[in-house]
Amino acid sequence: MKQTGIFEGRAEVLYNYGRFGWTRNYGKTWHGGIDIVGLDSDKIRMPYYDGKKITGTVTRARIVTNRADKTWEWGWYVCVQLDAGQTPDTVNFLYFCHCAKLLVSVGQKISSGDALGIMGNTGNAAGGYEHCHFEVRATATGTGVDPTAYAGISNAVGVYGTAGDGQTEQISETPTGKTMQCLMIGPLDSAAAAKCDALADRLALASVGRYATLPGADAGKVKCVGAVSNGDAVSFYQLAEAEGWTKDNKYLARYVG
């Protein structure tokens, strides 16, 4: 199988980089990486940079149990420091988090394609599903920056794989159904509908085409949200409950797939 990002075969993005997500601290915590699921293989591998082979050294291969250290949320994780001068951006450190098992040790030299760990949900992994939180940083203690060139896939929810010519492409915008949900909310009055719009904007759902107003007689009153992560779905459940809505008359939720 051809490697797609950090996995061989198909890979699915369930939660993208660059947003305040409801998987943490009621929407107040920045999601500094991409949550990726390997659909054909559970081995997390050293990625390429925009198709170019890269090398580095493992500087961390551990789990942190002291909750005063925020990296405890990553569970078992691997940090790779890139060898100098390979890429034109500011990235120097790659993080592969929530592993079920590590396959490398500190000090080990690695290159693109090498297996680093087994996908898992250790630490404070969101959603209760196996995935890899993949994050890149300029400094070891800095914040996550855009990992797209290293992820080998777009920074957008969807399933990615290989085309007939061997080039990686997005093969589906439809999630597998493991952890994604669609919600239908409404009918709503104008004030409640405006709250839905504001929340969708806050979660950047509208900008990625995952939030829409249904047409017809209920235009502006019935909202369709999907497919979204469990974390974003929970935010809409909380909104529904705060408004006194119930699943019988104001909102419906279903798993996709």
**In percent, how much of the chain has pLDDT > 90?**
36
Q: Is the pLDDT of residue 102 over 90?
A: yes
pLDDT of res. 130: 87
pLDDT band at 22 (very low <50, low <70, confident <90, very high): very low
Angle subtended at Cα 109 by Cα 104 and Cα 115, rounded to the nearest 5 degrees: 40
Mean pLDDT calculated for residue range 222-242? 66
Q: Produce one character per residue of 201-222: b if its CB has 16 or more CB atoms within 10 Å, e if not.
A: eebbbeebebbebbeeeeeebb
Q: Produce one character per residue of 83-122: b if its CB has 16 or more CB atoms within 10 Å, e if not.
A: eeeebeeebbbbbbbbbeebbbeeebebebebebbbbbbb
Q: Is the pLDDT of residue 78 over 60?
A: yes
Who wins on pLDDT, 101 or 69? 101
Q: Is the pLDDT of residue 42 over 80?
A: yes
Mean pLDDT calculated for residue range 202-224? 69
Instruction: Report the C-alpha gap between 209 and 204 in whole angstroms.
Output: 9
CB 180 within 8 A of CB 255: yes
pLDDT band at 197 (very low <50, low <70, confident <90, very high): confident
> How far from each other are the two terminal CA atoms of the chain, in whole angstroms?
24
pLDDT band at 171 (very low <50, low <70, confident <90, very high): low
pLDDT band at 1 (very low <50, low <70, confident <90, very high): confident
